[in-house]
Structure 1
Amino acid sequence: MSTLVRPYGDTTGDGMVQISFTLPVPHSKRAEGAAQQLAAKMGLDPALVVHARPMGPDFTFFVVYGRVHHLVDLDAVEVIERDYPLLTPKEVNAAIKRSLSRRLVVLGACIGTDAHTVGIDAILNIKGFAGEKGLEYYREIKVVNMGAQVSVPQLVDRAVAEQADAVLVSQVVTQRDAHLLNTREMSAAFGEAFPAEKRPLLVVGGPRFDEAMAGELGVDRIFGRGTTPGEVASFLAHRLAS
């Protein structure tokens, strides 16, 4: 089986793709022409503007459909594979009880100006996500959810007070790389507040993170979009109760 693949649109290997973007120009025929020109410079040939919608008086949102001639080599794709087994809640609880002889303390928050708690709540709250119960459901895990717009000093102070084993941070706001700046600030603050062997496990998640950047950002794990509570619980058990 060939490891070289091309995008699929109408027929196999036709290279057709759909992209969307916004230009800071009022909606007009000229704006559509500008969108078509941009798409052509991006390698779409032909580039067809299939949707254009005003976004207020000064911006226009576009969807462009066209063909690319690039190939993807599947053998050259590098991703972060899960290196731990997925456990059931019962297995996670048993591992924690066996190894720690106490409840595992997890502190969660959205830091900086980020007010989007849907992600952190999906992982922590008992209602969970994708048919899985959140970490509050786990008998051997104590969850402290600090909510949104938590400053880094507040997060560190609470981690000290709660004697947290792990700190989970969700970041959705990404303008001007706010999620990266906040994560670096957090990891630096925890590095100053704790000896290396005493620092809680630092885990961040959000739809715009690159999972391969954990080392660069100074955290122990990055989880991307679609992560379930069971994946996070299994990782915590793997790292803290194995």
Structure 2
Amino acid sequence: MSADGVEKKIVRPYGDTTGDGMVQVSFTLPVPHDKRAEGAAIQLAGKMGIDPAMLVHAKQMGDGYTFFVVYGRVNHLVDVSAVQVVERDYPLLSAKEVNALVRQKLRRKLSVVGACIGTDAHTVGIDAILNVKGIAGEKGLEYYRELKVTNLGAQVSVPELVEAARVERADAVLVSQVVTQRDAHLHNTREMSAAFREAMPAGRRPLLIVGGPRFDETMADELGVDRIFGRGTTPGEVASYLTHALVTNRKAKA
């Protein structure tokens, strides 16, 4: 039991037998594949706390790079009760329920503008949420009759996004970021958030939502957005959140 009264749940990694602490990691080193490279990989694994470490795979990856897979034991423990996550705080609604609520309470179509900003050309994520074909058999937001969806596509500049949101009188702006080298997704999100706050007063600003596989969902306040969606998000979850935030909570623009 912790000081705040929360019961701790301590676990360790599982490999061959319960609680044996075995893990498998992979990484690339900027060295050609030889015995010295394999020794370097084992040394790195040791510094990561893997002891003993076994090299189970090594392969040359072009000139001067080698990919490694290492298997071994760690002694680290994890307190599951101390893990912080963003819990879903809104009900999941069907498309019929979303349409009914928007029609009855908003009395106009809910405008959504989506894009991949900066140099990001990966539209798979934003298309999965917005396009009518959706993902894994679930229809995208274009399928919802009471949602007006504008998909700007890839490599949209922040000024272009702000202007499109203004023209479309967007209630919500959805941004997908897949490219994460040198934290590009974080820099782009902060730039977007600052631009909207500069261009629009608080009462007229659209809901700002970002998504992508490398985002930490707990960083919404730090990045200046209203919500972050991570890997595996479905169109239904996004539609339900929009309805919760903009319709049932009466935060929609007049």
TM above 0.5, yes or no, is yes
After superposition, residues 1-242 of structure 1 pair within 5 angstroms as 3-242=9-248
Match of 2:3 in 1: none
| C-alpha separation in 1, matches of 2:136 and 2:225 | 26
Closer, same or farther in 2 for the Cα pair 1:139/1:59, shift >3 Å? same
Aligned length: 242
| C-alpha separation in 2, matches of 1:127 and 1:33 | 49
Per-residue CA distance 1:18-56 (angstroms, 9 max, x = gap): 111111111111111101100110000111111111111
| C-alpha separation in 2, matches of 1:222 and 1:171 | 11
| C-alpha separation in 1, matches of 2:78 and 2:98 | 39
| C-alpha separation in 2, matches of 1:32 and 1:188 | 46
2:71 aligned counterpart, secondary structure: strand
Per-residue CA distance 1:88-124 (angstroms, 9 max, x = gap): 0011111111111011010000000000000000000
Q: Which runs of 5+ in 1 are unaligned?
A: none
| TM-fit CA distance, 1:2 | 7.0
| TM-fit CA distance, 1:160 | 0.4
- Runs of 4+ residues over 6 Å off in structure 1: none
Alignment root-mean-square deviation, CA:
1.0
Percent same amino acid at aligned positions? Answer: 77
Per-residue CA distance 1:114-166 (angstroms, 9 max, x = gap): 00000000000111112211001001001100000000000000000000000
Residue identity matched to 1:52: A
Q: Which runs of 5+ in 2 are unaligned?
A: 1-6, 249-254
CA contact (8 A) 2:8 2:82 kept: no
Residue identity matched to 2:89: D
| C-alpha separation in 1, matches of 2:27 and 2:144 | 42
| C-alpha separation in 2, matches of 1:32 and 1:157 | 53
| C-alpha separation in 1, matches of 2:117 and 2:52 | 44
| C-alpha separation in 2, matches of 1:74 and 1:115 | 37
Q: TM-score, normalised by structure 2?
A: 0.94
2:202 aligned counterpart, secondary structure: coil
Q: TM-score, normalised by structure 1?
A: 0.98
| C-alpha separation in 2, matches of 1:99 and 1:171 | 32
Residue identity matched to 2:194: A
Residue identity matched to 1:166: A
Residue identity matched to 1:192: E
Residue identity matched to 2:212: G
Per-residue CA distance 1:50-88 (angstroms, 9 max, x = gap): 111111111111111111111111111111100001000
